[in-house]
Structure 1
Amino acid sequence: MGETAMVDVIHGDAPGLALTSDSEPIVRVSAFRKTYGRTVAVDGIDLEIQRGEIYGLIGPDGAGKSSLMKAVAGVLTYDSGTLDVFGTRVDSERSAETIKDRIGLMPQGLGLNLYADLSIDENVDFFGQIRLIPNDVLQQRKKRLLGMTRLDKFRDRAMKNLSGGMKQKLGLVCCLIHHPQLVILDEPTTGVDPVSRRDFWSILAQLLREEQITALVSTAYMDEATRFHHAALLFDGKVLARGEPDEIAALVPGRIVQAKAEPQADALALLKKSFPQSEAVGPWLRVFVDDADDVQASEAVTSRIKEFTPQELHVAEPDLEDVFIALLRRRGLTDSNEFKITSQSSESSIRNDGGLAIEANNLVRAFGAFKAVDGVSFQVKPGEIFGLLGANGAGKTTVIKMLTGLLPPTAGAGRVAGADMRRAGQAIKERIGYMSQAFSLYQDLSVVENIRLYAGIYGLSRRMARERTDWIIDMAGLAGREKALSGSLPMGVRQRLAIGCALVHRPQVLFLDEPTSGVDPIGRRRLWDIIFDLSRNEGVAILVTTHYMSEAEHCDHIAMMYAGRVFADASPNELKANLRQESGQLLEVTTDNPLAALDVMESGGFAGVSLFGKRIHLLAPDPKAAEQSVRKALTEKDIHVLSVAEQPLTMEDVFVNRVLALEKAAEAKK
Structure 2
Amino acid sequence: MPVVSQGGAPGLVVEAKSLFKRYGASLAMDGIDLQVHPGEIYGLIGPDGAGKSSLLKSVAGVLAHDAGDLRVFGCLLDSERACEQVKDRIGLMPQGLGQNLYGDLSVEENIDYFGGLRLLTDEQLSSRKEALLRSTRLERFRDRPMKNLSGGMKQKLGLVCTLIHEPKLVILDEPTTGVDPVSRREFWSILARLLKEKGITALVSTAYMDEASRFHRVSLMHAGKILASGDPEQIKTMASGCIVSTVCQDTAQQVEAVRRLSAQFPQMEVLGQELRIFVDAADSVEATAHVQQCLQGLALSATEVLEPELEDVFIALLRQRKLSNGASDGAHPENTSAASNDSALHRHADNGPAIEAENLSRTFGEFKAVDQVSFSVPQGEIFGLLGANGAGKSTVIKMLTGILSQTDGKGRVAGADMRTAGRQIRERIGYMSQAFSLYLDLTVLENIRLYAGIYGLTRKQTAERIDWILDMAGLRPFGKALAASLPMGLRQRLALGCALIHRPQVLFLDEPTSGVDPLGRRAFWEVLFRLSREENVTILVTTHYMSEAEHCDHIALMYAGRVVADASPDQLKLNVAQEAGNLYELHVVQAAQAPQVVERLQGAGFGSAALFGARVHVLLPDPEQELPRVHAALQDLEIQKILPKRLSMEDVFVHIVTKLEAADAKARGEQA
TM range (shorter): over 0.9
Contact 2:360 2:410 in 1 (8 A): yes
In the TM superposition, 1:476-555 aligns within 5 A as 476-555=473-552
**Superposition deviation, residue 450 in structure 1:** 0.7
What is the percentage of aligned positions where both structures have the same residue? 60
Contact 1:350 1:507 in 2 (8 A): no
Residue 297 of structure 1 corresponds to which residue in structure 2?
287
SS for the counterpart of 2:477 is: coil
Residue 341 of structure 1 corresponds to which residue in structure 2?
336
Q: Distance in 2 between matches of 1:425 and 1:449?
A: 27
Residue 308 of structure 1 corresponds to which residue in structure 2?
298
**Superposition deviation, residue 98 in structure 1:** 1.2
Residue 143 of structure 2 corresponds to which residue in structure 1?
156
**Superposition deviation, residue 336 in structure 1:** 4.2
SS for the counterpart of 2:228 is: strand
Q: Which amino acid aligns with 1:340?
A: N
Q: Does 1:140 align with 2:127?
A: yes
Q: How big is each residue's C-alpha offset from its partner over 1:375-416, in whole Å with a ceiling of 9 and x where there is no partner?
A: 001011110000000011100000000000000000000110
Q: Does 1:363 align with 2:353?
A: no
**Superposition deviation, residue 471 in structure 1:** 1.1
Q: Distance in 1 between matches of 2:11 and 2:659?
A: 44
Residue 63 of structure 1 corresponds to which residue in structure 2?
50
Q: Distance in 1 between matches of 2:141 and 2:501?
A: 45
SS for the counterpart of 2:585 is: strand
Q: Distance in 1 between matches of 2:662 and 2:554?
A: 26
**Superposition deviation, residue 362 in structure 1:** 0.5
Q: Distance in 2 between matches of 1:447 and 1:539?
A: 27
Q: Distance in 1 between matches of 2:605 and 2:81?
A: 50
Q: Distance in 2 between matches of 1:39 and 1:353?
A: 49
Q: Does 1:202 align with 2:199?
A: no
Contact 2:447 2:498 in 1 (8 A): yes
SS for the counterpart of 2:403 is: coil
Q: Which amino acid aligns with 1:654?
A: V
From 405, 409, 427, the counterpart of 1:412: 409
Q: How big is each residue's C-alpha offset from its partner over 1:157-198, in whole Å with a ceiling of 9 and x where there is no partner?
A: 111111111111100000000111110000001111101100
Contact 1:552 1:651 in 2 (8 A): yes
Residue 260 of structure 2 corresponds to which residue in structure 1?
270
Q: Distance in 2 between matches of 1:427 and 1:402?
A: 17
Alpha carbon RMSD of aligned pairs, Å?
1.3
Q: How big is each residue's C-alpha offset from its partner over 1:182-228, in whole Å with a ceiling of 9 and x where there is no partner?
A: 10000001111101100100001111222221100101111111111
From 586, 589, 608, the counterpart of 2:586: 589
Residue 23 of structure 2 corresponds to which residue in structure 1?
36
Q: Distance in 1 between matches of 2:462 and 2:97?
A: 38
In the TM superposition, 1:108-507 aligns within 5 A as 108-261=95-248, 262=250, 263-336=253-326, 338-342=333-337, 343-344=339-340, 345-346=342-343, 348-507=345-504
Q: How big is each residue's C-alpha offset from its partner over 1:248-288, in whole Å with a ceiling of 9 and x where there is no partner?
A: 11001211111123410111011011111012110011100
Q: How big is each residue's C-alpha offset from its partner over 1:70-106, in whole Å with a ceiling of 9 and x where there is no partner?
A: 1111111111111111111111111111111111100
Contact 1:405 1:425 in 2 (8 A): no
TM-score (norm 2): 0.95
Q: Distance in 2 between matches of 1:548 and 1:176?
A: 27
Q: Does 1:651 align with 2:649?
A: yes
Contact 2:347 2:534 in 1 (8 A): no
Contact 1:209 1:596 in 2 (8 A): no
SS for the counterpart of 2:476 is: coil
Q: Report which stretch shifted further, 236-245 or 336-345.
A: 336-345
TM-score (norm 1): 0.95
SS for the counterpart of 1:98 is: helix
Q: Does 1:623 align with 2:618?
A: no
Contact 2:10 2:74 in 1 (8 A): no
Q: Distance in 2 between matches of 1:137 and 1:620?
A: 43
Q: Distance in 2 between matches of 1:183 and 1:253?
A: 35
Q: Distance in 1 between matches of 2:215 and 2:312?
A: 17
Q: How big is each residue's C-alpha offset from its partner over 1:31-56, in whole Å with a ceiling of 9 and x where there is no partner?
A: 11111223211011111111110000
From 642, 645, 661, the counterpart of 2:640: 642
Q: Report which stretch shifted further, 477-486 or 654-663.
A: 477-486
Residue 13 of structure 1 corresponds to which residue in structure 2?
none
Task: Kindly tell me the number of residue pairs found equivalent between the two proteins.
Answer: 647
Q: Which amino acid aligns with 2:81?
A: R
SS for the counterpart of 1:82 is: strand
Q: Distance in 2 between matches of 1:458 and 1:499?
A: 15
